[in-house]
Chain A
Amino acid sequence: MSPTRRRAITRRQALAGAGASAAALAAGVCRPAIAQSEPIRIGYLPALTGPSSSTGIGINRGTELAVKEINAAGGIKGRQLELIVRDTQSDPTKAVNASTELTRRHKVHVMWGPLNSGEALAATPLIARDGVPQMHPCWVDALTDVKKYPLCFRNAPTNQQIGGAANHYVFNVLKLKKVAVVSDTTGYGTASLTAYVPMLKAMGAEVVYEGTIEASNPDVKPEMLRMQSGGAQAIMPWSVNAGFLSRLINTRSEMNWDVPIVGQTTLGSGQTQALLKKPEYWEKVYPNNFRNCCYNEAGALPPRTREFVERIRKANIEMSDTLLWWIALGYDAPRLIAEAIKEAGTEPQAIAAYWNKVNNWPGVYATITFTPEQHNGFHDNEVVMCRANSLKDGAFTLAPGYAG
């Protein structure tokens, strides 16, 4: 082959080259334009059906409201928020499959959820592996770890904070020193017992009874007699089983034993209420709650929560069958996500870097502060106790002893 022939370009080659150049140019020029107008994809994993769905349904109302408001206000720099929703059906396996679908197939910019701990325990390592920033509201302590999951943040309290608030209330607010701590035999119950008893002892309380009871045991009186004979001044049950909790409450009243019961939020649930033999048995029962979503003694909510409730009402969002703090929690998360993307863009590291600097962010549910070393954003003093029998429009009244 001669050099002349080697340098010659045929018409076909010229056309192919021009076509390729045009395609490359088009891709280079148009991609940013498309990227700047395409929606911001939020992978969202609520449990809308199944046994854990009551929480998911409540949170979902807040999340949908926040996204609707943000999009109605023009989105983020002209880009709409798109919630890509997958109902986990309260099943960790489905949560895992859905999270992989969202991170890999839909290439979401951020994940919101899963919304309960069982599912989050299964899905969080996979979301971290795929390098997607994640916000979740689950309480299990191990679900945030700046080393293992550097892109994962929590906008809710940890179990340590929940137990710590109950311990603080019994020991420092009610000034009771002799405490009975009881749990059911579930993982949650026994883990709580193991975690909270040493905390109480470290505070100086005397744990006069520490026991585990099968949740289905129909008779808790023998255990309560042990608590009573030990001189317990307060009972702290750790269980999410309404049957177990209602048996403790019923038995306390039938024993004419006037000690407070202080513990997990289920103490104040409608399911627990339905199992009480008399409504007055719910007196002196104080479950966990959150300061921003509680009425003070005068019956008023904090100003920013009051304003939020007005907005919920205007949006015709049903509140009678759910809790205000679930809606507020769901409302806060998309706003935190939107703010990060607005200020830092959609790159995962940039979003995490922005959240790492969030300081006293004024959410409806909670004031949030993150640091590079601390991805649990909830402030200790915002976890409080409330009166179980004070539910009105999805919110409770603070337990006695707190300053309004």
Chain B
Amino acid sequence: MLESIISHGLALGAVYALIGITYNVMFAASRVFSFTAGMVGMLGGVLGALFINRMGMPVIVGFVLTLASGAVIGIVTEILTVRPVLKSLDQHLYVLSTLAFALMIQQLTAIEWSTEPQPFPRLLPIGRGIFDQQFWLPMLACALVIFGLEWLYRRTLIGRAFLAIAEDSYAARALGLPEQRLRMASYALAGVIATLAGFSSGEMMLAYFGNGPLLNFYGFVPVALGGMGSNRGAVVGGIALGLFQQSASVLVGGIFASVAVFVVFIIVLLARPEGLAGAATARRV
């Protein structure tokens, strides 16, 4: 039982954290919560299976193409669903535009791929067990992403430009930063992270169009728990969610595990609406 909680809990938690980070990267660049995050995550599994299983490409080529596709979808998301509504952020039109695009992605996947779960290839030729690759690959992906983002934001010029946009886009633009191109780059980066989440968890979650809404929701929980915009908070929130969900599944079982997750989620938000790691925002009066 304990092994199941740890292996599946940490792996699922890492996937949720990666989707949470995807939400954050897009939010930081545009102040928009794009509900395409989970759908692009789902595409990571589907495209991986398509390139490697169906088209017979080597794993590394399939991996690179999947991430590249994620970047392209990220850019398309920015152009089609975010840019047109940025001028009226207060009307929250992005909820409609990003949700509509997310549904389009899901329906197209259902039509062109399959409505049935499809097998995802085994990525490395090593054996199975408690420390199976289907468990540690998502954790490795999560660790790489969090360290990579830390490095990008703190050690590179472009990373600092991202932070500047996130802090104050008007001031950043006034300083001559190419806001639009940086926002597109952020969305491309978010697409890469989401597809990495789906690709690394493909064997565990299968290449299945139904994973999209699940990732959309469970990936949003760590963002709400960890605080909007906080990647570290998303990782802590995601891992906690995965472990809690799996513990609830083992201890109370079946459908009650989901109920337990929602109950804790609501309690935490009631106690700390800004999230566990988020800072309370001042309201202009």
Which positions in A face B, CB cutoff 8 Å? 50-51, 185, 211-219, 221-223, 225-226, 241-243, 246, 271, 274-275
Alpha-carbon distance A344/B65, docked complex (angstroms): 64
Given A225-B1, A243-B116, does the pair A218, B8 have CB atoms closer than 8 Å? yes
- Are A275 and B4 in contact (CB-based, < 8 A)? no
- 25 A-B contact pairs sorted by A residue (CB < 8 Å): A212-B254, A213-B254, A216-B205, A216-B208, A216-B210, A216-B211, A216-B214, A218-B204, A219-B8, A219-B246, A219-B249, A221-B4, A222-B1, A222-B249, A222-B253, A223-B249, A223-B254, A241-B116, A242-B116, A243-B117, A243-B206, A271-B116, A271-B118, A275-B119, A275-B206
- Are A211 and B210 in contact (CB-based, < 8 A)? no
Given A219-B246, A241-B117, does the pair A214, B258 have CB atoms closer than 8 Å? yes
8 Å CB contacts to A: which residues of B91-116? 110-111, 115-116
- In the complex formed, the residue of B with least CB distance to A184 is B255
B12: interface (CB < 8 Å): yes
Q: Which of B117, B205, B214 has most A Cβ within 10 Å?
A: B117
Q: Which of B115, B211, B253, B254 has most A Cβ within 10 Å?
A: B254
Alpha-carbon distance A219/B245, docked complex (angstroms): 11
Which positions in B face A, CB cutoff 8 Å? 1, 4, 8, 12, 110-111, 115-119, 204-206, 208, 210-211, 214, 246, 249-250, 253-255, 258
Which residues does chain A contribute within 8 Å of B205, judged by CB atoms?
A: 216, 218
Which residues does chain B contribute within 8 Å of A216, judged by CB atoms?
A: 205, 208, 210-211, 214
Alpha-carbon distance A241/B114, docked complex (angstroms): 12
- In the complex formed, the residue of A with least CB distance to B204 is A218
Write the nearest CB–CB distance from B39 to chain A, whole angstroms. 14
- Are A51 and B253 in contact (CB-based, < 8 A)? no
- In the complex formed, the residue of A with least CB distance to B53 is A274
Which residues does chain A contribute within 8 Å of B254, judged by CB atoms?
A: 211-213, 223
Which residues does chain A contribute within 8 Å of B206, judged by CB atoms?
A: 218, 243, 275
Alpha-carbon distance A219/B6, docked complex (angstroms): 12
Write the nearest CB–CB distance from B6 to chain A, whole angstroms. 12
The 4 closest A-B pairs by CB, nearest first: A243-B117, A51-B115, A222-B250, A219-B8
- In the complex formed, the residue of A with least CB distance to B246 is A219
Alpha-carbon distance A213/B116, docked complex (angstroms): 17
Which residues does chain A contribute within 8 Å of B246, judged by CB atoms?
A: 219
- Are B249 and A185 in contact (CB-based, < 8 A)? no
- In the complex formed, the residue of B with least CB distance to A271 is B116
Which residues does chain B contribute within 8 Å of A275, judged by CB atoms?
A: 117-119, 206
- In the complex formed, the residue of B with least CB distance to A241 is B117
Write the nearest CB–CB distance from A218 to chain B, whole angstroms. 5
Which residues does chain A contribute within 8 Å of B118, judged by CB atoms?
A: 271, 274-275
Which residues does chain B contribute within 8 Å of A213, judged by CB atoms?
A: 254-255
Which residues does chain B contribute within 8 Å of A214, judged by CB atoms?
A: 255, 258
Q: Which of A185, A219, A221, A271 has most B Cβ within 10 Å?
A: A219
- In the complex formed, the residue of B with least CB distance to A222 is B250
Alpha-carbon distance A185/B206, docked complex (angstroms): 18
Alpha-carbon distance A212/B116, docked complex (angstroms): 20
- In the complex formed, the residue of A with least CB distance to B117 is A243
Which residues does chain A contribute within 8 Å of B255, judged by CB atoms?
A: 185, 212-214
Q: Which of A211, A216, A223, A241 has most B Cβ within 10 Å?
A: A216
Given A241-B117, A243-B117, A243-B208, does the pair A219, B253 have CB atoms closer than 8 Å? no
- In the complex formed, the residue of B with least CB distance to A52 is B115
Alpha-carbon distance A349/B121, docked complex (angstroms): 57
Given A51-B110, A241-B117, A271-B117, does the pair A219, B4 have CB atoms closer than 8 Å? yes
Alpha-carbon distance A243/B211, docked complex (angstroms): 11
Which residues does chain A contribute within 8 Å of B249, judged by CB atoms?
A: 217, 219, 222-223
- In the complex formed, the residue of A with least CB distance to B12 is A218
Which residues does chain B contribute within 8 Å of A222, judged by CB atoms?
A: 1, 4, 249-250, 253
Write the nearest CB–CB distance from B56 to chain A, whole angstroms. 16
- In the complex formed, the residue of A with least CB distance to B215 is A216
Write the nearest CB–CB distance from A404 to chain B, whole angstroms. 32
Which residues does chain B contribute within 8 Å of A217, judged by CB atoms?
A: 249
Given A219-B8, A221-B4, does the pair A211, B117 have CB atoms closer than 8 Å? no
Q: Which of A51, A222, A241 has most B Cβ within 10 Å?
A: A222
Alpha-carbon distance A216/B116, docked complex (angstroms): 11
- In the complex formed, the residue of B with least CB distance to A269 is B116
- In the complex formed, the residue of A with least CB distance to B5 is A222
Known: A51-B110, A216-B214, A271-B118. 7 other contacts (CB 8 A): A51-B115, A216-B210, A216-B211, A218-B8, A219-B4, A274-B119, A275-B117
Alpha-carbon distance A219/B258, docked complex (angstroms): 13
Alpha-carbon distance A51/B117, docked complex (angstroms): 12
Q: Which of A185, A213, A226, A243 has most B Cβ within 10 Å?
A: A243
Which residues does chain B contribute within 8 Å of A51, judged by CB atoms?
A: 110, 115
Write the nearest CB–CB distance from B203 to chain A, whole angstroms. 9
Write the nearest CB–CB distance from B249 to chain A, whole angstroms. 5
Write the nearest CB–CB distance from A58 to chain B, whole angstroms. 16
Write the nearest CB–CB distance from A293 to chain B, whole angstroms. 22
Write the nearest CB–CB distance from A341 to chain B, whole angstroms. 37
Alpha-carbon distance A217/B258, docked complex (angstroms): 10
Which residues does chain B contribute within 8 Å of A212, judged by CB atoms?
A: 254-255
Alpha-carbon distance A274/B120, docked complex (angstroms): 10
Which residues does chain B contribute within 8 Å of A274, judged by CB atoms?
A: 118-119
Alpha-carbon distance A228/B246, docked complex (angstroms): 19
Partner of B253, one of A185, A218, A223, A271: A223
Write the nearest CB–CB distance from A371 to chain B, whole angstroms. 38
- In the complex formed, the residue of B with least CB distance to A53 is B115
Alpha-carbon distance A275/B116, docked complex (angstroms): 10
Given A216-B211, A218-B12, A218-B204, does the pair A242, B253 have CB atoms closer than 8 Å? no
Which residues does chain B contribute within 8 Å of A185, judged by CB atoms?
A: 255
